Amino acid sequence: MSRIPTALFVCLLAATPLSAGFTQAQDFRPATPEELALKNVSYMPGAPAAVLDWIRVDDDTNSSSSEYHRIKVFSEEGKKYADVEIPYVSGYPINGRITDISARTIQPDGKIVPFDGKIYDKVLFKSGGVRLRAKTFSLAGVQPGSILEYRFQRRWADLLLLNTTWTVQRDIPVLHTKMTLRPYDSGGEYGAFFTYFNLPPGKVPAKNRNEYFLELENVPAFVSEELAPPDEQLTSRVNFYYTTSRMKPEEFWPGQTKSWTKQTEDFIGKTSVLKATADPLVGKTPLETLQNVYAKVQSVKNLSYEDEPTERDKKNAADVLAKGSGYRLEITRAFVALARAAGLDANVIRVAPRDERFFAKQIPDAEQMSTEIAAVTIDGKPMYLDPGSPSAPFGIVSWEKSQVPGFRLVKGQPAELLIVAEQKPENAILHRAADLKLVEDKLEGTLTITYNGQEALRARMRTWGDDEAARTKAFEEETKAWFPDGATVKLTELKGATSHAEPVVAKYDVTLPGFVSAAGSRTVLPVSVFASNQKNPFAAATRTHAIYYHYPRLVQDEVKLTLPEGLSPAAIPQGVTMDAGAVAYSNEIKHNGRELLFKRSSSVNTMLIENKNYDALRQFYTTVATADQKPLVLVNK
């Protein structure tokens, strides 16, 4: 097997190690008086720590990379950087490993404490045979003023030629870094090129003979913000890619989609062999047929979401359906095959998921489009489905594969780039209902939480593969987070947690202390109980990044509050209605005898709001927070 260019796990293998050893610049060295005296970074005062030096050398010829880190700790908070985690992908085909770890602590007085502790191997993520692991260890004798020094090498399979990412920003400032890439010498068969994002003005990778290098000073820390685009979309970084020397950039996507089309059609195979399976699924209408086919394929065991899959890849769609199991791309293609066998116009669409980065057509990197959905045309209109996501409701595509660029793969036709699987608020509805009684100084009663569409898929995938106890705990913890500390939330019934065909419905018994306060003859409580613990995500006066919602959604709350004898509202707060287009909010409260009925609706009808609109969005949510916290005053009759 010759070296094959691939972007497999680019972001996970951002640190790429050197088989010949470390460079001189990566040698351990004594602390200088200036380093020992350093108390903070002038351009980022208050930072808990800073990277004094970060030297990385990637060697693609030797399938290895080496890294050296030198970090100054400024505060108690900065001591956390003594807990080191080095990720790598251990399984086939990467076969990654971490070697030659060495580390030490330089204390504030210059004394050196060598690392002689234990190195642990930790699983960070596992799914469908993919294992992201990490070597972890903790440096000893660390205190404010210490310098942490460590280095390691990362290696991977000789037969793989990986693209490389240099993410030069970290969560603390970097005073100096130098990164070097020695690209694979293919004798002219492959060519290397790079793209870069958010680098300082005038700073781009340079080439010296057979090496690329980038040297930077005073790199600011990356500012993480809630509801921001993926970090990979925002951080300062350089991406290196390989292409064949025979491939022109403008020919890349036509050539790639042609290859994908052949792969999918070969896997789908002759649909006539599925006729016996498809015939019982044919309904009175094409839509009924489609629903039956979808239900059939959703019953196939999805090996991509198994902790320890033991089966190998299937050869074709008929094999998937006969065995009743397959990986997510195989299941999607089997769905298309079965839909065609049932007489439907179905195709695979290769899409660019948006959970880690956004698609850039000008970059010839096939791994940008790493997954697939299906499209079925009924009455001239395409319907997008996601059979490769277990328990995805009919007509719902998992959020990271929705409203994204995709190529429809049709045999004998050039692939056209489309935006597929539009998301709307009505595709993701969370309905929260509470039936509560005011008992002394607390609220008691029941909750019924209903997850529909995208919300149902999210709720299912969050606990997919869990046993009953773990699933119960996860649902209780999420619901409990809506309320102040001290709330008691006990799940009494859960439906639809593993089925695509119905909403997820969770019922709870609850006791909510801390809601009620008394002042003389007056009792005060907020009626927006679900939002009582909700923080304004845009409380900061300024913001660095755009606002990114994973998907449009609608949250509907209904709270029925039964009052004890002798209490009634002094006045009913006036309802609030706001509609800013991209976001909307309304609430109202009604009084009928001893019952109060509060309704609240909050919706998001967009996915990305530019930073220039932040002030208006902040004002909107400030008004929402005020409306949610507006108290209801009760008095004795």
Q: pLDDT (tens digit, 9 = 90+) per residue, 47-73?
A: 999 999 999 999 998 999 999 999 999
Output the pLDDT for position 6.
40
pLDDT, mean over the chain: 91
Neighbour-count burial for 593-614, b at 16+ CB within 10 Å, e otherwise:
eeebebbbebbbbebebeeeeb
Identify the band that residue 18 occupies on the pLDDT scale cut at 50, 70 and 90: very low
Tokens coding 117:
């502790």
**Average pLDDT, integer, range 262-269:** 96
**Average pLDDT, integer, range 215-220:** 96
Output the pLDDT for position 194.
86
- Dihedral sign for Cα 526, 527, 531, 533, please: positive
**Average pLDDT, integer, range 483-508:** 95
DSSP 252-290: HHHHHHHHHHHHHHHHH--GGGGHHHHGGG--SSHHHHH
Q: Which of 338, 450, 445, 454 shows the shortest CA–CA distance to 394?
A: 454
Place of tokens 């789908």: 268
Kindly tell me if the per-residue pLDDT of 14 is higher than 70.
no
Q: What share of the chain is helix, strand, coil (3-state, %, to 5)?
A: 20, 40, 40
% of the chain with per-residue pLDDT over 70: 95
Which residues are CB-contacts of 67 (< 8 A; sequence separation ≥ 6)?
Answer: 15, 17, 26, 54, 55, 56, 57, 151, 152, 153, 154
pTM of the shown model? 0.85
H or E segment to which residue 443 belongs: strand 442-453
Q: How open is the CA angle 304-309-310, to the nearest 5 degrees?
A: 140
Q: Which of 42, 36, 134 shows the shortest CA–CA distance to 83?
A: 134
Kindly tell me if the per-residue pLDDT of 91 is higher than 80.
no
Separation between Cα atoms, residue 485 and residue 560, nearest integer Å: 22
Q: Which of 216, 8, 32 shows the shortest CA–CA distance to 95?
A: 8
Separation between Cα atoms, residue 327 and residue 145, nearest integer Å: 50
**Average pLDDT, integer, range 135-147:** 97
Output the pLDDT for position 309.
62
Output the pLDDT for position 90.
82
Identify the band that residue 5 occupies on the pLDDT scale cut at 50, 70 and 90: very low
Q: Of the given ranges (8-22, 201-215, 219-233, 356-370), which has the lowest mean pLDDT?
A: 8-22
| Residue range 379-412, pLDDT digits in tens | 999 999 999 999 999 999 999 999 999 999 999 9
Q: Which domains does the chain show, CATH number per domain?
A: 4-244 (2.60.40.3140), 251-422 (3.10.620.30), 426-636 (2.60.120.1130)
Output DSSP code: residue 462. Answer: H
In order of 1, 14, 544, the CA distances from 159 in angstroms are: 7, 18, 42
